[in-house]
Each structure stands twice: as C-alpha cells, then as structure tokens.
Amino acid sequence: MPDSDTLAYDDRPADSVGLVTPHVVKFDTPLPLACGKTLPEYELIYETYGTLNAERSNAVLICHALSGHHHAAGYHTAEDRKPGWWDAHIGPGKSIDTNRFFVVSLNNLGGCHGSTGPVSHNPDTGRQWGPDFPVVTVSDWVTSQARLADHLGIERWAAAVGGSLGGMQVLQWTITYPERVANAVVIAATPRLSAQNIAFNEVARQAIRSDPEFFDGWYAEHDTVPKRGLKLARMVGHITYLSEDAMGSKFGRDLRSDDLNFGFDVEFQVESYLRYQVDTFSTAFDANTYLLMTKALDYFDPAANCDGDLACALAPAQCPFLIVSFTTDWRFPPSRSRELVDALTRAGKSVSYANIESPHGHDAFLLPEPRYQALFSAFMGRVAREQHIDAAGAEETR
C-alpha cells in the first residue's frame, strides 16, 4: 500500500500537506494510442497526499490542465517559494481534505515534468523522442491513469477532479470507466473546443513552429530551445486565461514610466507583466509538449462518437457530477459548462451546477474564492459521507 508523501515539516502552514516527494512508476505493458501508434513502455510521475484507507475507498484523482503537472500541493523543499498549483484546494481542512482523502496527482503522458514525453529517451532510436513522440489524446491519458490506479491498488476513485483540460479527462473517465469513478468534479471545462479556442491554439502552435530555433522539433539536438515561440504561445494563452476586467483592474493603461517614449519597448504595465509571466515558462516548459497538449485539447470531443449528441456520449456515466464555471471565464465560458449540464440532465444523470461570480476569468479555477470553496467543500464532504470516509486516522499523519 502506498504511503503518504506527507513528511513531518514543522514550519508548514497548518493547512498545507507539507513537504512532498514525487514517485515514478514504470509500465512495461505497451499502451495502444488513439493515433494508431503504440507506446512500448512508459513512466508516470505522481505525488500523493493523505493516506489511503484500508478499504481503498478514499482515493481522489487530480487531472491537470494544459501546462500543469503532478505537483498539485505542498512543497518539494523547505526553500520552495510557491506550493503546488492547486494548493488552494488540496490540504488538511481544504476542499479536497487530505485528512479524509488520499489524493493522487500525476503528470500526463507527453508532459515535460517527469512522465514519458518528448524530452524522454526513445528506446527505438536511442535519441530523444522530440517531435516523434506520438500525439496523445485525453482518452489515452485516461487509459494510462487507469493503469496508475491499478498500480496503486485503487479499484474506484471516490472522486475524479479536474479543471479546464483536467475537467475533460474527468469527463472521459466517466465515459470510459464509469464503474471506476464514484463522483466527478468538472471545473471550468467544456465538452469540446470552439472554433475560436482551436484558433487560439493554432496561433500558439504557429508561434512555436515558426521560431527558427524550433528545428522541426529537434531543437534539443541543436542545443537550443525555441524560447521566442514558446513565449509568444504562452502570451496568447495567458491573455485567454484572464478576463478583460481582471487585466483592466490590475494594470489599466498604467505606464512603467511617466511619459510615452514613442518606441516599441515595454511601456505599459500589462506588457511588462506578460513578458515577466512567460520568461520563466519559456525555459521551464518543453515546446513539443506544449504542441501535444494543445492538440489533445483540440481533439477532445466525446460527442463525436454519437453524431454530436453529447447526452448519448455521456450515457455510460453512472456517477454524480459537480460542474462549476466562472462568470468572467471567456476561454471556456459558463455557456459551455451549461451545455454539459443540459446534456447530463437530458441523459438523466445526477448533476449539480454552479456559476461562480469571479473577476479572474479562466484562472479562477486555480484560485481560492469563498463561494467556490464552500461549494467544492460541500460536494467533497458529501462524497466522504457517501463513501463512509471519516477523518479518523488522518490526525496520525499530522
């Protein structure tokens, strides 16, 4: 039985999972992919928070979004400035309460944070996978996640939870493995990308692919990184994650200096912010991974197997759903979540839906907000009651 990664760490905030160490598991069973190719072997990196109970009934799967990874909560070292990407919602007493739940968070295949992806070694060629890494889909990810669940001895998730692209993985879980998901939380997601969403993704891909340092994806072999392309891609993405209001109230038309300088250097605060945001990203994130992740987004369309009828596509699902959207999210706006809700009600599924007032656009799903937290906690509290999960024993991990 896997142990909690939570270590004793005296300085941590009371509601942090504290110091965590990732695990890597290698799979030797080949994984057939939607594109027709097969991954002969692969590794997945993951973290866990909390303790798996004896019945193995308290496991919660966290699915990450476009640029996410396995490090969802806590700190890797005592010196880390920032916790994991969803620390606002995972921890003792938080929405996903690690006193009750055993939380599993992984980096998806094709990622660049430790799971097999373009930066990994290709056993067939002896070089890096690079652009040869097959295009993976949300379905492929879910299959690989199911194998991770098998490895951890988890027959059924108490809940599968994800925001944005993560929410799409949760949806896919309820379709592919309905008997293995007891509850589904789908936040700021969409049942399929709109033409505008795909267009933004294409701009991002073109930015990367037209960078002279891209070398058709073989930049590593030229000892370089298509930094400029990746920066542009991230800039475009970042704009779609924020709302007009959030940008307006954060920066307005504020200038960095007092006067206009009639040039093309950074003048407005918003320009400076965007450049700063993407600087670290362009060296920390792999360009081929970015291309793969945007493709996985574009291809996701479960209704396509049912002549566009989403209710029919969701027919296999058995679990209760919580669907959440945010008022100022224009990347995956409330109307897209509502589409999903309407399909679920048409299919007679158990579903609740809330549209949370937030000024933060798509990024709101990552942030703490009182109503969001109250709702999320209420749902997870019911999951715990329904699965007969209590907080007993959890105190021992503290």
Partner 1 sequence: MRTDLELIYDWVPQGAHVLDLACGDGILLERLAQEKGVTGYGLEIDPDGITQCVARGVNVIEHNLDDGLGSFCDNSYDQVIMPQALQALRRPDKMLDEMLRVAEEGIITFPNFAYWRHRIHLGLRGYMPVSKSLPHAWYDTPNIHLSTFNDFEHLCKEKGLVIVDRAVGVGDHKGHWTSKWWPNLFGEIAIFRVRRRP
Catalytic residue of the set 329, 358, 360, 363: 329
> Under the criterion CB under 8 A, does residue 275 sit at the interface with partner 1?
no
378 Cβ neighbours under 8 A, 6+ residues apart = none
Q: Which of 164, 243, 325, 337 is catalytic?
A: 164
- Specify the residue, 107 or 325, whose C-beta has the smaller distance to partner 1: 325
Is the CB of 122 or the CB of 327 nearer to partner 1? 327
Least Å distance, CB 387 to partner 1, is: 12
Query: Which whole-number Å values give the CA distances from 60 to 55, 103, 191, 342, in the listed order?
Result: 14, 5, 22, 26
Q: Does the footprint of partner 1 cover residue 182 (CB under 8 A)?
A: no
Residue number with CB closer to partner 1 (346 or 388) = 346
Identify the helix (H) or strand (E) that includes residue 44: strand 42-49
Interaxial angle between packed helices 165-176 and 287-299, expressed in degrees from 0 to 180 and rounded to the nearest 10: 50
User: Does residue 378 belong to the site contacting partner 1 (CB under 8 A)?
Assistant: yes
- Taking the least distance from each CB to partner 1, the nearer of 272 and 352 is 352
By the rule CB under 8 A, 393 interacts with partner 1: no
- Closest listed residue to residue 5, CA positions, set 122, 88, 84: 84
* Cβ(162)–Cβ(64) below 8 Å: yes
- 359 lines the binding site for partner 1 (CB under 8 A): no
- The reply to whether 112 sits near partner 1 by the rule CB under 8 A is no
Residue 58 or 282 having the CB closest to partner 1:
58
- Using CB under 8 A as the binding criterion, the count of chain residues that bind partner 1 stands at 23
136 in contact with partner 1 (CB under 8 A):
no
Angle between helices 227-241 and 287-299 (to 10 degrees): 40
Q: Is 87 a catalytic residue?
A: no
Smallest gap from Cβ 379 to partner 1, in A, equals 5
Neighbours of 353 (CB within 10 A): 18
**390 scored as a contact of partner 1 (CB under 8 A):** no
| Ranges within 322-351 binding partner 1 (CB under 8 A) | 322, 338, 341-342, 345-346, 348, 350-351
Sign of CA dihedral 303, 305, 307, 309: negative
What amino acid occupies position 209? R
Supply the minimum distance, in Å, between the C-beta of residue 350 and partner 1: 6
- Degrees (nearest 5) of the Cα angle 358, 361, 367? 65
Q: Is the C-alpha dihedral spanning 28, 33, 35, 36 positive or negative?
A: positive
Q: How many CA atoms lie within 13 A of 59 on its CB side?
A: 27
Q: Is 362 a catalytic residue?
A: yes
List interacting residues with partner 1 (CB under 8 A): 320, 322, 338, 341-342, 345-346, 348, 350-355, 357, 371, 374-375, 378-379, 381-382, 386
Residues with catalytic annotation? 164, 329, 362
